């Protein structure tokens, strides 16, 4: 114990992942035994955690470019600017029709009496709008004519003030009801932070709502869809599941702002907007313009899961608001609507068109079921209040859907009183899947690579639902997605993989961050309005996910699993589909290491193998918009001699060997 403490102290002062004291070379061989599988790797093993944090949805994967398109932010004209050549009281009026439309009460009324006057509105986008030269943009608006006669002249303007695309929209005289008008135009130039102007020409009075601008190049070219480059990065990972919509956003700051899936489906203009709970969470990262318009709602999440081949994992509110914030709870005798939401969600995802909610899904254009098999009840909830509510949810859901799997929260931390209490209670309940979270320093990840070695095998399964190594400390703005954190996570994940008998799912968190609008760092993927890049941590996740295999096999050094000896961390799987053995090796030290690996229990191996290596020159190396692949994997050929592999493991590296078995 004393030695362990000393080692940690040394590592903190040297800045390297592991102290030089542990770097002495050991000549023992790593023996991989492919004919003695220990466990199946679940298809869900490596997944992604999506939350609308850091402009993840609005301003992120949801490709809408107009911010506050329906004037429902608490400041109705937030994101908009009115330009007119002379003061004209009420020329742009915010009108509230709450009595008639509670979901989308506000619209604007434009009045222009003199043709010679100038009147326009301008939207700033989400920290500007990313516009691409030559791309088509689709402008649409809901309108209601009061006095026909106004024409809309729309234009995109670059940061330099240059018009980089324009069009004219002439709404028809209409019949006095709301109608939709749309027109498309091409951008003539690229701009990272453009704005969108609408000038009103002629005279007249018109009501406008849902003023929208989408690029043509959305994911799968779906109108009103998602940002393709960001989704492609997810698809490239081939994730086993996608968890949504969070995260604390499930809980809400208070119950009134909790995530309610039923408000996020159906026609987009009828989805009631909500403040984003990250809007004012951190005084040091205020984001007053952060709202959820739910253009990206539960239907779209399910569709996304289907698109990228990931099992959907929705997390629902359990009748408790965020316990770091208000900690509001719903009285037990009023929990029914919450439980009903969970039951209805299963019907929405899986029911046929004869069921109430299956019919809604069918009407939204997806008659086939989404094949939902699991759901989380509560995010980071804790205490007896959680257990009490969870039991009610579990009883009701299992009564109707006995095979449906439930993910239960073990709170915010992987140890301590809260964790111990919940872990005990959940195991007494025979929980299907326990969700553990760890936002910890890299040393913690290295020291805990064997965390699951002794977890009971025939009991509750584990979902490592949120984790990320923090280069500084949790919620510090100084956290970086650097090589040190990525390598520490890769090392820890050998322990997850080795223990696939009990760990069935894992996901890094958070997933996305906008460089100009983030609240939380580190994050797996960083974006600006035009570009996105994967961090070193992203590549670790991707390497695991795309080298998942089907069966865990032993990888031992001196008869023991390799979990820190000589700064090495090792796990191995075989893949029934490709007939490969895949060996993952992390060298967490500052020195290159040569290591012999033998592959036993197979008649013949293909001597021509490959190794894919992720490494940094320094623990501080990061990726960036300027150099998005500074720390990224490179694949090369390696030659086996019989069943022997001479592994050259660079300093701070993660190597994935793939060897064909004959
Ligand atoms: O991932 C960011 C936040 O961390 C999540 O919303 C929450 O579950 C955790 O505390």
Q: pTM for the whole thing?
A: 0.95
Given pLDDT bands bounded at 50, 70 and 90, which one contains residue 166?
very high
Q: What is the pLDDT of residues 228-280, one digit of tens each?
A: 999 999 999 999 999 999 999 999 999 999 999 999 999 999 999 999 999 99
Angle between helices 536-545 and 228-237 (to 10 degrees): 50
Give 273-319 pLDDT, tens digit per residue: 999 999 999 999 999 999 999 999 999 999 999 999 999 999 999 99
CA 253–ligand 1 middle distance (angstroms)? 13
Measured from the Cα of 49, ligand 1's closest atom is 1
Record the tokens describing residue 261, joined without a space.
């899936």
Mean pLDDT of the chain: 95
Q: d(Cα 323, Cα 344) in Å, to the nearest integer?
A: 26
Report the SS3 class of residue 478: coil
Three-state DSSP class for residue 63: coil
Cα 52 to Cα 61, 62, 249, 278, 297, distances in angstroms: 9, 10, 7, 9, 11
Give just the sign of the alpha carbon dihedral 640, 642, 644, 646.
Answer: negative
Q: Which ligand 1 atom lies nearest to the CA of residue 379?
A: 8
467 CB near ligand 1 (under 6 Å): no
Specify the residue with its C-alpha closest to ligand 1, atom 3. 247
Summarize pLDDT for 71-98 with one digit per residue, the tens: 999 999 999 999 999 888 999 999 999 8
Among 495, 486, 489, 488, residue whose Cα is nearest residue 462? 495
Which residue has 């809980």 as its token pair? Answer: 251
Domains of the chain: 8-38+551-660 (2.60.40.1180), 48-63+232-255+272-281+297-545 (3.20.20.80), 80-215 (2.60.120.260)
Q: Is 52 in the pocket of ligand 1 (CB under 6 A)?
A: no
pLDDT of residue 389: 98
Cis ω before 245 (30° cut-off from 0): yes
**Distance separating alpha carbons of residues 519 and 496, to the nearest angstrom:** 28
Taking the C-alpha atoms of residue 195 and residue 193, their distance in angstroms, rounded to an integer, is 7
pLDDT of 494 higher than 80: yes
Q: What is the best residue among 56, 292, 325, 510 to mutate for testing ligand 1's pocket, by most ligand atoms within 8 Å of CB?
A: 510
Q: Which of 281, 380, 425, 436 is catalytic?
A: 380
| Alpha carbon distance 648, 540 (integer Å) | 19
Residue 536: CB atoms within 10 A of its CB come to 29
To the query of whether residue 380 is one of the catalytic residues in this protein, the response is yes
Tokens of 487: 């390598």
């Amino acid at each position: 114990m004393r030695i362990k403490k000393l080692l940690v102290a040394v590592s903190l002062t040297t800045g390297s992942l592991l102290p030089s004291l542990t770097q002495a070379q050991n000549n023992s061989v790593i023996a991989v035994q492919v004919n003695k599988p220990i466990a199946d790797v679940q298809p869900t093993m490596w997944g992604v955690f999506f939350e609308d944090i850091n402009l993840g949805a609005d301003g992120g994967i949801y490709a809408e470019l107009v911010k506050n398109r329906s004037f429902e932010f608490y400041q109705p004209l937030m994101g908009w600017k009115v330009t007119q050549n002379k003061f004209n009281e009420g020329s742009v009026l915010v009108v509230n029709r709450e009595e008639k439309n509670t979901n989308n009460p506000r619209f604007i009324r434009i009045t222009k009496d003199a043709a010679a006057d100038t009147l326009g509105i301008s939207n700033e986008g989400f920290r500007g709008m990313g516009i691409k030269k030559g791309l088509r943009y689709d402008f649409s608006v809901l309108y209601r004519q009061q006095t026909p006669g106004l024409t809309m002249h729309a234009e995109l303007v670059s940061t330099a003030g240059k018009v980089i695309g324009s069009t004219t929209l002439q709404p028809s005289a209409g019949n006095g009801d709301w109608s939709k008008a749309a027109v498309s135009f091409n951008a003539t130039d690229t701009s990272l932070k453009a704005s969108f102007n609408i000038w009103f020409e002629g005279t007249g009075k018109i009501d406008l709502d849902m003023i929208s601008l989408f690029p043509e190049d959305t994911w799968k070219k779906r109108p009103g869809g998602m940002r393709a480059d960001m989704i492609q990065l997810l698809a490239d990972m081939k994730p086993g599941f996608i968890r949504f919509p969070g995260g604390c956003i499930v809980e809400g700051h208070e119950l009134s702002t909790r995530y309610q899936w039923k408000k996020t489906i159906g026609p987009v203009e009828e989805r009631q907007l909500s403040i984003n709970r990250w809007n004012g969470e951190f005084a040091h990262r205020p984001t007053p313009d952060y709202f959820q318009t739910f253009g990206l709602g539960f239907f779209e999440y399910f569709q996304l899961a289907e698109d990228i081949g990931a099992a959907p994992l929705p997390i629902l509110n359990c009748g408790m608001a965020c316990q770091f914030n208000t900690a509001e709870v719903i009285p037990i005798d009023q929990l029914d609507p919450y439980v009903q939401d969970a039951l209805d969600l299963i019907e929405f995802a899986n029911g046929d068109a004869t069921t109430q909610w299956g019919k809604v899904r069918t009407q939204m254009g997806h008659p086939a079921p989404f094949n939902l098999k699991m759901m989380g009840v509560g995010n980071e909830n804790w205490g007896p209040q959680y257990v009490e509510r969870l039991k009610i949810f579990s009883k009701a859901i299992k009564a109707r859907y006995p095979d449906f799997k439930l993910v239960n929260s073990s709170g915010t931390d992987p140890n301590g009183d809260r964790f111990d209490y919940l872990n005990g209670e959940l195991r007494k309940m025979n929980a299907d899947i326990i969700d553990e979270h760890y936002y910890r320093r890299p040393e913690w990840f290295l020291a805990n690579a064997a965390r699951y070695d002794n977890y009971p095998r025939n009991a509750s399964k584990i979902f490592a639902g949120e984790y990320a190594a923090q280069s500084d400390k949790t919620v510090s703005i100084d956290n970086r997605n650097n090589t040190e954190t990525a390598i520490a996570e890769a090392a820890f994940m050998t322990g997850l993989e080795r223990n696939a008998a009990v760990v069935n799912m894992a996901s890094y968190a958070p997933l996305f961050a906008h460089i100009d609008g983030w609240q939380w760092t580190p994050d797996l993927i960083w974006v600006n309005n035009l570009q996105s890049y994967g961090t070193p941590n992203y590549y670790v996740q991707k390497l695991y996910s795309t080298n998942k295999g089907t069966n865990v096999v032993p990888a031992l050094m001196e008869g023991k699993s390799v979990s820190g000896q000589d700064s090495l961390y090792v796990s191995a799987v075989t893949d029934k589909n490709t007939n490969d053995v895949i060996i993952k090796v992390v060298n967490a030290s500052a020195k290159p290491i040569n290591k012999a690996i033998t592959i036993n229990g197979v008649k013949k191996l293909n001597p021509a193998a490959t190794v894919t290596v992720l490494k940094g020159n320094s623990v501080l190396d990061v990726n960036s918009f300027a150099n998005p692949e500074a720390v990224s994997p490179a694949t090369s050929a390696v030659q086996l001699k019989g069943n022997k592999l001479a592994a050259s493991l660079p300093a701070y590296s993660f190597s994935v060997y793939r060897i064909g078995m004959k």
